[in-house]
Amino acid sequence: MLTCQTALPLADDQPVRALKLHHTDNVAVVLGPVRTGQMVLTGDETLRAVEDLPRGHKIALRAIHTGDSVRKYGEIIGSATSNIAEGQWVHSHNLSAGKLQRILPDSHAQTLTVGGDDGVRFMGYRRADGRVGTRNTLAVISTVNCSADAALLIASRARAELLPRYPRLDDVFAVTHKGGCGVPIGGATHTVLLRCLTGMATHPNVGGALVIGLGCEVVSPREVAATAEAMGVPCATLSVQDAGGVGKAVCRGMEMLEPLARQANDAERAPCRLSDLVVGTNCGGSDAYSGITANPLLGRVGDHVVAAGGRWALAESPETCGAEHVLARRAVSRDVARRLYDVMDRWDAYTAAYGASVDNNPAPGNKEGGITTIYEKALGAVMKGGQSPLADVKQYAEPITETGLTFMDTPGMDDVSVTGLVAGGCNLIAFTTGRGSCLAFKPVPVVKIATTSDLFARMRSDMDFDAGAILQGVPMDEAALALLNLLAAVAGGQKTAGETQGLGEHTFAPWELGPTL
SS3 assignment for 437-491: CCCCECCECEEEEECCHHHHHHCCCCCCEEHHHHHHCCCHHHHHHHHHHHHHHHH
* Those residues with Cβ within 8 angstroms of residue 28's Cβ, 6 or more apart along the chain or in another chain: 18, 19, 20, 21, 40, 42, 58, 59, 61
Q: Given pLDDT bands bounded at 50, 70 and 90, which one contains residue 4?
A: very low
The pLDDT tens digits for 160-202 are: 999 999 999 999 999 999 999 999 999 999 999 999 999 999 9
Could you tell me the pLDDT band of residue 103, with boundaries at 50, 70 and 90?
Answer: low
Alpha-carbon distance of 236 to 414, in angstroms, equals: 30
Helix H or strand E segment including 138: strand 137-142
**pLDDT one-digit tens code per residue, 458-469:** 999 999 999 999
Closest C-alpha among 210, 215, 217 to residue 174: 210
Asked if residue 49 has pLDDT above 60, the reply is: yes
Q: Is the pLDDT of residue 70 over 90?
A: yes
Measured at the alpha carbon of residue 326, what is the angle toward residues 32 and 89, in degrees to the nearest 5? Answer: 25
Whole-number Å distance between alpha carbons of 437 and 319: 16
Burial class (CB in 10 A: 0-12, 13-18, 19+), 101: exposed
The pLDDT of residue 5 is 39
Q: How confident is the model at residue 110 (pLDDT cuts 50, 70, 90)?
A: low
Amino acid at 287: D
DSSP state of 358: G
46 has which bridge partners? 41
Phi-psi region of 378 (alpha: psi -120 to 50; beta: other; left: phi over 0): alpha
Whether the predicted pLDDT of 3 surpasses 50? no
Distance CA 183, CA 186 (A): 9
Q: How confident is the model at residue 9 (pLDDT cuts 50, 70, 90)?
A: very low
The C-alpha atoms of residue 230 and residue 70 are separated, in whole angstroms, by: 54
The pLDDT of residue 350 is above 90: no
How do residues 163-173 score in pLDDT, each as one tens digit? Answer: 999 999 999 99
Q: What percent of the chain has pLDDT over 90?
A: 85
Mean pLDDT, to the nearest integer, of 225-251? 97
pLDDT at 432 (0 to 100): 98
Per-residue confidence band for 12, with pLDDT thresholds at 50, 70 and 90: low
Asked if the model's pLDDT at residue 243 lies above 80, the reply is yes
CA distance 68 to 94: 11
The model's pLDDT over 494-511, given as tens digits with 9 standing for 90+, comes to 999 999 999 999 999 999
Summarize the confidence of residues 361-382 as an average pLDDT: 88
Peptide bond connecting 443 to the previous residue in cis, omega within 30 degrees of 0? yes
Count CB-CB contacts under 10 A for residue 256.
18
pLDDT at 516: 74
Confidence of residue 7 (pLDDT cuts 50, 70, 90): very low
Question: Mean per-residue pLDDT for 335-362?
Answer: 85
Say whether pLDDT at 1 is over 50: no
Of 290, 363, 283, 362, the residue nearest 321 (C-alpha) = 362
* Alpha-carbon radius of gyration of the chain: 24
CB 137 within 8 A of CB 174: no
Q: Please tell me the pTM assigned to this model.
A: 0.92
pLDDT surpassing 70 at residue 116: no
Mean pLDDT score, 411-432: 97
Rounded mean pLDDT, 405-413: 97
Confidence of residue 515 (pLDDT cuts 50, 70, 90): confident
Average per-residue pLDDT for the chain: 92
**Helical packing angle, 414-423 and 188-201, nearest 10°:** 60
pLDDT at 357: 73
What is the average per-residue pLDDT within 290-297? 96
DSSP 33-67: -B-TT-EEEETTEEEE-SS-B-TT-EEESS-B-TT
Report residue 111's pLDDT band, with 50, 70 and 90 as the boundaries.
low
When pLDDT is cut at 50, 70 and 90, the band that residue 345 belongs to is very high
Q: What is the mean pLDDT of residues 70-87?
A: 95
